[in-house]
Structure 1
Amino acid sequence: MQHRAAQFLKILCLFISIAPAWVACRSDVHKTSSNTETTEDIKSTESIARPSKTPLPRLPSNLVLASDPISVNRQKYPPPSKYNEVPFFADLVSAGKLPPISERLPVEPFVVGPGVLNSEQWLDWEVGNYGGTIRTTNLNGSMHELALAMGMTILRAPDQSTKDPLPAIVSSYEISADFTQYTLTIREGIKWSDGVPVTTEDVRMTFELYGDERIYPSFPIKARTLGRADGTPGKLTIIDELTFRITFDAPYGQFLAELSSWIPDYTLLFRPAHFIKQFHADYTDMAKIRPILDELEMRTWEDLVILKDMRHWELYREHGVGVPSLTPWIAEEVTSSVVRAVRNPYYWKVDIAGNQLPYIDQVEAEVSNQLQSITLKTAAGEYDVVTSFAQIREMPLYRENAKRSNIKTVLHGSINNPPILFLNHDYDYENEGSVWQQLVSDPRFGSAMASAIDKEDVNNTLYFGRYTLDGFTKETFDPKASNKLLDEIGMIKRDADGFRTAPNGDRFELTITTAEISPDFLGLGELLKGYFENVGIRTTLDVIGNSLFGQRMNGNELMATIHWSDEPIWAPGISEDYWPGFKGHWAPMSEMYFNTNGESGRKPPPYLQEFFDLHVARKVVPPQSEAGEALYAALVRWFSQHYVTIWPVGRMTVPTVYNADLGNVIKDGYPFDRALDYGMEQLFFKTPQ
């Protein structure tokens, strides 16, 4: 253990001391340059990916990342000895209109049982019953719940984890010791929802689309080396009908998390080639495509391909009907008032008893345009699952109606944190002698601001006392300590209104800007204004519209902002919205410098450069490996020490309301979000439908 720890510290020091050794890796951008090869005919190399247009920094050649390659070809449970026909399809099978269950499943289906989709600590899993319709809802056509319920990852770890994932859509995967090569074998016999086998042609087609500027303006970041906009696109090698390899030109351990994450999902690598080719002029005669264009009032076949080339979150929109997928349910009807999805006859998962999943036959999502209507219908038991639109403040209403409406609630964690305060460390950086730059770069100023905040008051006033207080900001409410720190940094004098002046004696004012996104943004802003003025910091709260907020953030015009973050899923690498220009914009010009390799933006001062070094280091290794977890701990320490964000409270607790007759429901206190919709295929009605 001591040896491994010492080795990791050496690696970490190497990362943090990286001096960019730029190497040219650009070549002529032309649609016939190679980024794909096959073992059958490597000399025939049709380009389906654009090379990087900017140099890519290479990591030290002596960096030791892992002792051995990673090879995984197991499941938690062996395939059952026989499979049971789904009653919903029995008539179709009897009539010869649908193959029997044994022909619809892969040779070895993905087996679901205790501890597979959720850890056994949080779910007492049981074999379920077939049948029924899950009724849910969405607000203003947002298909968030359905997109997540229907989304399927290429690899799968329990809960919101990317640690040691099992093969899911693939049957095995291998990763080289330096995290540059990922070799995956597709699960034999797995089929699209229309019954067509999934093969490496689907992967090849996906990369072809990525490399075609007519379809994709830029190659997706997640499939580029180090997940960077300037990273070289991964090179696809087709080995045979089921096996393929993706090679990166530098270590990219984060890619393991991308293969396991519901954000990119399976559509990162798999698109139904047989379906898309129908609309692609390189594969289908325009005489067949033109009538479709005319019917849809579209001009070009490229526009048609863009419409039909859907990511998983688009499958439950109008044009998603009829698009082959790998999801538990497939869209059958999409209107302005309802979305209906029916079970996928070729779904590739079974339970330990040999029952093809999902248990539920259909999902029906009502489209609502009023949150209050959703709240009342939820309390009345008119929905079977409500996640994002269940509200903590309505808990008394849900509990009051629990028995009458046959509903229950489960309280669990959230993807989001409550709103936090972002201090823009790039604001006014071009002004030599900037007072703001002097203050914000001094950790004592951030600590003083944090110590001025009454976290318990925020929690009780805005969140009914139900949130935690343990965010990245460790300071407790201590106005005396806050005042002392402000004195130490030179903000001793007061103006005629009693507010502190800047260290140089000038008038000082902190402006916090927020958008009309959520009611607690404004509520938090008002509380922060009071806390800061209590220690002598003149504070203005500026509430503006969403569009203007985005424009001013992108223009580096905002001193401080209020926004959410996805911190609960930072550690597993599912989200990186800690990025300095993503939500709260805490260093957007330094980010620009990083993204453009110094061509524009601000060269980060040393303490901000530490962040970028840590970020790059995290990309190199899997986020929940031993090295990845140590790097994340270092990142958390960096945030705690430099106050680019200040956390008034810690983590959220949110409710999910569900039909009391549902089985395989997560336990109360589950620390993660997506408690029911991520893994909805295992839900069932205890009373046979």
Structure 2
Amino acid sequence: MLDAAVADGSLPPIEQRLPPEPLVVTPVSEVGSYGGTARAMRSSTEEFGDATSVVGIESLTRLNAEDGATIEPNLAQSWEWSNDDKTLTMTLRKGLKWSDGEPFTTADIAFWWDDVINNAELTPTMPGDWMSAGEPMTVTVVDEQTFKLDFKAPNRLIELLIARDGYQGQIFLPAHFLKPFHPKYADPAKLAEMAKAAGYATWAELFAQKALSDDVFGVANFDSPVIRAFKPASTNGSHLILERNPFYFKVDTEGNQLPYIDKVDVDLVQNPEVYTLKASSGEADLALENTTITQMPVFIDNAEKGGYRVLEYSAGFTNIANMMLNQTVADPDKRALFQDIRFRKALEIAINRDEINELVFFGLGTPMQNSILPIGGRCWDEAVSKTNTQFDPDGAKALLDEIGMKLDGDWRTLPNGKPFKFTLTYWPGEGGDAKRKIVELTQTYFRNIGLNFDVREVERSLYFEFTTSNQHDMGLWHADSATDPLWVTGPKIIPRTQRHGAFATLWATWFETHGEKGEEPPQDMKDAMAAWEKAKATGTPEALVEGCKAVVKANADGAWTIGTVGAFPQPLIVSNAMRNIPEQGMASWDWGYMARYHPEQFYLAQ
């Protein structure tokens, strides 16, 4: 693909595109061959979907493919801590280039910090990840390759956060590309005109769109350079095309520049049934995010005809359908009810998890509340994982009677006698058929104890519009960020962020804005957040275990989230042409799904 561009002079030769010491990737099975277009699917226009498993995620450092925990060099080739664990010094690989050929240096980290994170119009609230002891870190550039992060207090766990989430948009941005859209570097009047011409009210809105090029959600920006293996090139609405980055910094063991694959064609498939149909018809080279064990017979029966193989990975989820009753819902009657732990416990014990396990997961999952995997690991507490998981509809009815929710015809009223109905809002993606089946079963369970329970299925972006604006009774998301040790980088069983705090949106807002907005949470949530903060700051194995157990127990005792079934097998559909895929592995967003396994070395046999 790149030879013609080199021949006509529009692209430099390979020796000028690679850094002096490229990162060497050992192929899973064999050195691959160049060429081909990998086919993938996504269920939302907001994300890459299965394409993330082909495109990969490029953080400053990365996590080892085998154990998922050991931190390894990537864009940064070395790093070290000061003796007091307050200063992290990192050194970038020399000679890195953006996809447009411009140098990638510490200037791109300084720009992100000085001009984006510390600009109130672009970042109204300082992200908590970059704070310690209540104060923001400082970033100091030493030279083009070396920079320092200084914290007020020890912050050892930032090293793990950088390995997981230290990608484009999160800790660096292409300064050379974005400066013309920033008033510090461009004429404010001309910038305002530029924003208006592009349909934006302010320069900040224009800048945000130009900067949206990260490894997770940067799907619609065809202008910004990237550091990862592939860059968005074009779209016709339903298909997004990504092309290989000619300046990518990795090579295989024979010195061949990666990636091997030329292009990625990402098909927008929002219906889980259509996703299954396309996957089982062989219309994708890799399908994972919306495959479910429920469809395993279909996948196996069609494998030969569809030209693919079915691998069985372990799902790194404690629940694929994690239900969250919004304790800060706007309606005062509902809020009083939802904050009554007896109501939340009634919902928990009304669910038949054994039946869900049999009907949805063929008995291969584990009924549980939200916990930290692996089962039996250092963070695991069997008793806590089973809190209120027993199926006891009579007990649930008794709790509702105790609250004063009397039956009026088919449905129970509020304690004050008013009619009561509540609605679950959810997006079926990333779990597809399994999520829908669990929701359908749950609706039956809740109605069987006299609750008028409705379901609203929406698109991904609309789901977050509802939940972040506190316009939902109950939300549902998959319980990721639930593996050891990655749970500490972004646990979703405490109201850490507005985006993933659907069980208490206004309390989550209070935490995220450091008390400036939202509503002050109760003490048990403050204590859980403090336990997480302590685990982050200390970073020792003992502190991590203490923190994860405290957070999991607080969530279970408070019935903040309602778990169903987790730790189930996850089918991975791989075309016969797609090679260098590990035969076994862990499927979880904690590692960006297959991004964990060096997708730049995947190739299509011609």
CA distances 1:579-613 after superposition (whole Å, capped 9, x unpaired) = 33554633445445545666776654443332122
SS of equivalent residue, structure 1 residue 190 = coil
Residues matched between the structures, number: 575
Which of 594, 597, 602 is equivalent to 1:676?
Answer: 594
C-alpha distance in structure 2 between counterparts of 1:531 and 1:369, whole Å: 27
Aligned match of 2:40: 136
Question: Is the alpha carbon distance of 1:497 and 1:276 closer, same or farther for their aligned partners in structure 2, counting shifts above 3 Å?
Answer: closer
Tell me which of 359, 371, 390 is aligned to 1:461: 359
Aligned partner of 2:537 in structure 1 is 620
Partner of 2:525: 608
CA–CA distance in 1 between the matches of 2:233 and 2:466?
39
Change (3 A) 1:497 1:129: same
SS in 2 for 1:358: coil
Summarize the alignment of residues 409-420 of structure 1 with structure 2, pairs less than 5 Å apart. Answer: 409-414=310-315, 417-420=319-322
In 2, are the aligned partners of 1:493 and 1:501 still within 8 Å (CA)? no
Q: Distance in 1 between matches of 2:247 and 2:466?
A: 46
2:105 maps to 1:199: yes
User: What's the counterpart of residue 480 of structure 2?
Assistant: 566
SS of residue matched to 2:51: helix
**Distance in 2 (alpha carbons) for counterparts of 1:367 and 1:501:** 41
1:407-434 alpha-carbon deviations (Å, 9 max, x no partner): 1122334465322333555679989x96
- Shift in CA distance, 637/211, structure 1 to aligned 2, threshold 3 Å: closer
> Which residue of the partner structure matches residue 59 of structure 2?
153
Q: CA deviation at 1:188?
A: 0.8
Contact in 2 for aligned 1:423/1:645 (Cα 8 Å): yes
- The secondary structure found in structure 1 opposite 2:177 is helix
**SS across alignment from 2:454:** strand
- Say which structure, 1 or 2, has more relative contact order (CA 8 Å, 6+ apart): 2
Aligned to 1:629: 545
Q: Is the 8 A contact 1:144 1:313 kept in 2?
A: no
Aligned 8 A contact 2:106 2:143 in 1: yes
Over the aligned positions, Cα root-mean-square deviation in angstroms equals 4.4
Give the superposition deviation at 1:474. Answer: 0.4
Please point out which of 217, 235, 239 is paired with 1:338: 239
The answer to whether the aligner puts 1:109 opposite 2:22 as a matched pair is yes
Counterpart for residue 517 of structure 1: 427
User: For the Cα contact (< 8 Å) 1:526–1:541, is it kept in 2?
Assistant: no
Q: Match for residue 26 of structure 1?
A: none
SS at match of 1:245: strand
Identical aligned pairs, as a percentage? Answer: 26
**What residue ranges of structure 2 are gaps of 5+ in the alignment?**
371-384
Partner of residue 5, structure 1: none
Cα separation, partners in 2 of 1:426 and 1:176, compared to 1, 3 Å: farther
Q: How far, CA to CA, are the matches of 1:615 and 1:684 in structure 2?
A: 41
Greater alpha carbon shift after TM alignment, 543-552 vs 159-168: 543-552
Which among 580, 586, 606 is matched to residue 503 of structure 2?
Answer: 586
Please state how far the C-alpha of 1:281 moved relative to its aligned partner: 5.2
CA distance in 1, matches of 2:571, 2:14: 37
Q: Per-residue displacement from partner, 1:132-154 (whole Å, max 9, x unpaired)?
A: 22122334645333356243111
2: CA distance between counterparts of 1:383 and 1:434? 48
Which of the two has higher C-alpha Rg? 1
TM-score scaled by structure 1? 0.70
Matched residues in 2 for 1:379 and 1:163: separation? 33
Cα distance in structure 2, aligned partners of 1:212 and 1:497: 56
Picking from 217, 229, 238, the partner of 2:141 is 238
> Contact 2:468 / 2:499 at 8 angstroms: preserved in 1?
no
Partner Cα separation in structure 1 for residue 411 and residue 220 of structure 2: 57
2:405 & 2:200 partners in 1: Cα distance?
A: 65
Asked if structure 2 preserves the Cα contact closer than 8 Å seen for 1:155 and 1:168, the reply is yes
Residue 286 to residue 540, structure 1, CA distance change in 2 (3 Å): closer
Distance in 2 of aligned mates of 1:512 and 1:478? 23
Aligned partner of 1:358: which letter?
Answer: P
Taking the TM superposition and a 5 Å limit, the aligned residue runs for 1:1-40 are: none
Instruction: Specify the alignment match of 1:539 in structure 2.
Output: 451
CA contact (8 A) 1:529 1:539 kept: no
Distance 2:571 2:127 in 1: 34
Change (3 A) 1:370 1:588: closer
C-alpha spacing 1:680/1:552, structure 2 compared with 1 (3 Å)? closer
Deviation at 1:328, TM superposition (A): 0.8
| Distance across 2 between alignment mates of 1:654 and 1:396 | 13
Whether the aligned pair in 1 keeps the contact of 2:64 and 2:72 (CA below 8 Å) is no
Residue 190 to residue 626, structure 1, CA distance change in 2 (3 Å)? farther
Query: For residues 224 and 401 of structure 1, do their structure 2 counterparts lie closer, same or farther at Cα, with a shift above 3 Å needed?
Result: same
The letter for the 1-side match of 2:227 is L
What TM-score, normalized to structure 2?
Answer: 0.79
Which deviates more, 639-648 or 672-681? 672-681
Distance in 2 separating the partners of 1:252 and 1:161: 23
Query: Residue type matched to 1:131 in 2?
Result: G
CA shift for structure 1 position 683: 0.5
